[in-house]
Amino acid sequence: MKLETKQQIAESLRDFRLPRYNEIPNVGLYLEQATKYVGEYLAPLGEYSLTPSMISNYVKKGLIANPVKKQYGREQIAYLFFIAVAKSVLSLDALTGFIKLQQQTYTLPKAYDYFAEELENLLAFTFELKDTMEAVGEDNTDEKRLLYTCIVAAVQKVYLEKCLEAIAKED
């Protein structure tokens, strides 16, 4: 792969940032709005979108709470961000168990913000936008290491797919 192509891929992710928990709207988003909101943030990563039927299925499976008056609040949106990324590397059963484990360990705002910061950190490091990785959070629990491992796997998948896509375009 050409150096300039690699640099272009990295540049496409330079400004990637997920909203922090308190920045996610809590006014309630309808299904289509929630799908679009999550999808727009995750678009730079590639195929990490959600469909309305996927979200409805996550509600049925108990991964996220039922919408209130057909609207999804901050809590559900935060889970949707995590699910959209983690579903690329975890089975639905593993994802369910992982969410339950995280719920026993951290509050949702803390767990979600760890997730968002670590995702951005690993993307920047993997795509060589930063020379070092920053330490995220203050504690070092097994649950946090599992979250880190999940995100590493997802980021490596993004890296591989973007590089292979670029190579295919060069040919």
Q: Which segments of the chain have a pLDDT < 50? A: none
| Predicted pLDDT of residue 3 | 62
User: What's residue 1's pLDDT?
Assistant: 62
Number of domains in the chain: 1
pTM for the predicted model, two decimal places: 0.93
Predicted confidence at residue 137, as pLDDT, reads 73
CB atoms within 10 A of CB 114: 20
Report d(CA 47, CA 65) in Å as an integer. Answer: 24
Token representation of residue 164: 């292979």
Under DSSP, is residue 113 helix (H, G, I), strand (E, B) or coil? helix
Residue 130: predicted pLDDT: 87
Q: What is the extent of the structural domain holding 111?
A: 3-170
